Structure 1
Amino acid sequence: MQAWLCENPVGVDALTWKELPTPEPQAGQVRIAIKAASLNFPDLLIVQNKYQMKPPLPFVPGSEYAGVVEAVGEGVTHLKVGQNVACLSGTGGFGTHTLAPAALCFPLPDGFGHVDAAAFIMIYATSYHALIDRAALKAGETVLILGAAGGVGTAAIQIAKAAGARVIAAASTEEKCALCKAEGAAEVINYSVHTPTGGLRDEIKRQTGGKGPDVIYDPVGGDFAEPAFRSIAWRGRYLVVGFASGPIPSLPLNLALLKGASIVGVFWGDYARREPKANAADMATLAQWYATGKVKPVIDRTLPMSELKTAYAVMGSRSVKGKLVLVN
């Protein structure tokens, strides 16, 4: 097998494409021939030693991937050789083969392609957990989605629409705003026109008739958090999803009091670990929605696995719409 190896987590440039022994699965594991792997923000942090999970060195990055089961270890009964699966295991995806815990593998229904599957679990499970479970989103409510043209953002647009909500999507360029409209947003806000310090609150107010959004989905953080939260509706729910802009914001808690609003943490990874049955039910619903066309990953482009460093550079340019996927 071949894989991108991180022997020194000082950044993308230190990754090397190496030939490694093809491993045999141990008890509870399967070996997967990887067909596609998506690039997520944690995949950048982990090779910079900035992610909360710090795997032992050396390791192969790549948190999310899809492929074909090649071999099964002792005790694995729900998967078989030749089966198509997707997996979100945190590492191992940027190569031709990997060992994965069988319990983390999601069997793919017929018609669920590897590229879509590799771009599915993280963004849709996160957004479904956030909007449906944590925010209890109801039909007819208004959702403001920040960073709406990215992977979790486009998934959130689709899920909110499927739930019957009205979506306002915020993104940084006209091109990204056009994508959000195409995915189902009723209104868009262009950050380059309506900045956090220059009219963002006024535009949110205008687009909600002065009421404010019932739910704010925020994977961005930074300077956008406070003006967005100041705009929230009475009994609104502010979803803390991530901090893609870098800085972790500090919100004045008196705002939550004045709006009767909730600040709601969204940590899908721990939810999946602590509440596996609930997460499995979520994934079953999402798979059904995919089969009926309610949700489908937005794929910015696919690149050969050998071009991982190019993919990282594209992601770093913040020009990606949806997801980048590497293929073997």
Structure 2
Amino acid sequence: MSLCLSFPVTGNPAEVLELVERPLQEPQGHEVRVRMRYAPINPADLNYIEGNYGRTATLPAIPGHEGCGEVEVVGPDVVSLKPGDVVMPLLGGGCWAQHVTAAEHHFAKLPGGIDRVQASMLRINPVTAWHLLTKHVELREGDWVIQNSANSGVGRALIQLAKQGKLKTLNLVRRAELIPELLALGADMVVLDNDEGLQTAKDALKGKDVQLAANGVGGDSAIRLMDLLSPEGMMVTYGAMSRRSLKVPNKFLIFKNLRLHGLWITKWFEKAGSAELREALEPLSQMVSEGLLTTATDEVIPMADHRRAIQRAMEGGRNGKVILDLA
């Protein structure tokens, strides 16, 4: 038997999640069974349980958009994986479980020595940051990229990837105490996400061409990003942490001809071919393995203590991701 976290109805995650026992599945054909080790609690996971996500759960459902584990058993026709391989599920759900069984192409093999906790957080935030920097605007060494929510998982990954790619980042945050931390991570400039910070950023970017903005907040914060973009620049919205609608002043469309795009990395994973997945995951997993790309963690909590884990994940002022230990 195997344990998983499941919810029979949508609602408050701390109330509707249940620890459930289920029988183990024996892999057939090209299937593999993976013993999951760790899985982070992301805002998307909480929204999914609440019923406020971009896709509706078929109940009862097992949440968990990402995680990491080792191959335990393989089916007779499996060719790409073997027992003991470290893997990351690409399913986009069902990771809050001790075991996951699926076809071999639904798992990405990772370097054997990779840190399992860091690997469990690879699929969403680092890949989102990679997509933002590579798939929307042609950027060259020394170009500036601006973003809000710079202390989020995506924001921190973007800072590290930009530094590796010799790009410069200007970052907006809500709390002053985050500024030294992000500068130490590799940010070129960090300002508060308010009118005073906007003016400071304008003065610093004066005369510089800024063609890409990453928006994870929405509301007034997104307007500040649009104000900082150069004419013909692009703002890509990947999140809405403020839960406020995106409002676009007419002047930014008429006089600056800004381009507005959206990014839902889950949908990209569903459409991406194997070559695209390798293009993203191979260098990212190698960077994680070498310690060049890290995601901040707040606390690792056993899945049996899931209510405390959920409550901690929903609190503000955390130091990083809350991780479920699936042992």
Structure 1 position 202 matched with structure 2 position 199: yes
Q: Distance between the aligned counterparts of 2:66 and 2:89, measured in 1?
A: 6
Find the residue that maps to 1:319 and give its secondary structure. coil
Would the alpha carbon gap of residues 307 and 210 (structure 1) be closer, same or farther in structure 2, given more than 3 Å must change?
farther
> Which residue does the alignment assign to 1:214?
211
Deviations 1:65-97 (CA, angstroms, capped at 9, x unpaired): 111111223543211122111124222222322
> Which residue does the alignment assign to 2:5?
4
Q: Distance between the aligned counterparts of 2:104 and 2:91, measured in 1?
A: 10
Kindly provide the amino acid, as one letter, of the partner of residue 315 in structure 1: A
> Which residue does the alignment assign to 1:326?
324
Once the two structures are overlaid, the 10-residue window that deviates more, 277-286 or 4-13, is 277-286
CA contact 1:146–1:171 (8 Å) conserved in 2: yes
> Which residue does the alignment assign to 2:50?
48
Deviations 1:173-214 (CA, angstroms, capped at 9, x unpaired): 2333232112111211123xxx2xx43431321232364743
> Which residue does the alignment assign to 1:223?
220
Q: Which of structure 1's runs of 4+ aligned residues deviate more than 4 A? A: none
CA contact 1:204–1:212 (8 Å) conserved in 2: no
Correspondent of 1:240 among 227, 237, 242: 237
User: Once the 2 structures are TM-superposed, how far is the Cα of residue 129 of structure 1 from its aligned partner?
Assistant: 0.9
Q: Distance between the aligned counterparts of 1:89 and 1:134, measured in 2?
A: 25
> Which residue does the alignment assign to 1:298?
296
Q: Distance between the aligned counterparts of 1:260 and 1:247, measured in 2?
A: 23
Q: Distance between the aligned counterparts of 1:94 and 1:136, measured in 2?
A: 37
> Which residue does the alignment assign to 2:141?
139
User: Once the 2 structures are TM-superposed, how far is the Cα of residue 119 of structure 1 from its aligned partner?
Assistant: 0.8
Q: How many residues align?
A: 323
Correspondent of 1:275 among 272, 276, 281: 272
> Pairwise mapping of residues 243-258 of structure 1 onto structure 2 (< 5 A)?
243-252=240-249, 254-258=251-255
Q: Distance between the aligned counterparts of 1:59 and 1:66, measured in 2?
A: 19
CA contact 2:313–2:321 (8 Å) conserved in 1: no
CA contact 1:271–1:279 (8 Å) conserved in 2: no
Would the alpha carbon gap of residues 8 and 223 (structure 1) be closer, same or farther in structure 2, given more than 3 Å must change?
same
Structure 1 position 262 matched with structure 2 position 259: yes
Find the residue that maps to 1:154 and give its secondary structure. helix
Correspondent of 2:83 among 78, 81, 84: 81
CA contact 2:147–2:225 (8 Å) conserved in 1: no
CA contact 1:301–1:325 (8 Å) conserved in 2: yes
> Which residue does the alignment assign to 1:124?
126
> Which residue does the alignment assign to 2:98?
96
Kindly provide the amino acid, as one letter, of the partner of residue 247 in structure 2: S
CA RMSD of aligned residues (A): 2.1
Kindly provide the amino acid, as one letter, of the partner of residue 159 in structure 2: I
Q: Distance between the aligned counterparts of 2:29 and 2:241, measured in 1?
A: 37
Q: Distance between the aligned counterparts of 2:80 and 2:22, measured in 1?
A: 28
TM-score by length of 1: 0.90
Q: Distance between the aligned counterparts of 1:75 and 1:253, measured in 2?
A: 58
Kindly provide the amino acid, as one letter, of the partner of residue 289 in structure 1: M
Would the alpha carbon gap of residues 71 and 65 (structure 1) be closer, same or farther in structure 2, given more than 3 Å must change?
same
Find the residue that maps to 2:184 and give its secondary structure. helix
Q: Distance between the aligned counterparts of 1:11 and 1:156, measured in 2?
A: 31
Q: Distance between the aligned counterparts of 1:43 and 1:210, measured in 2?
A: 41
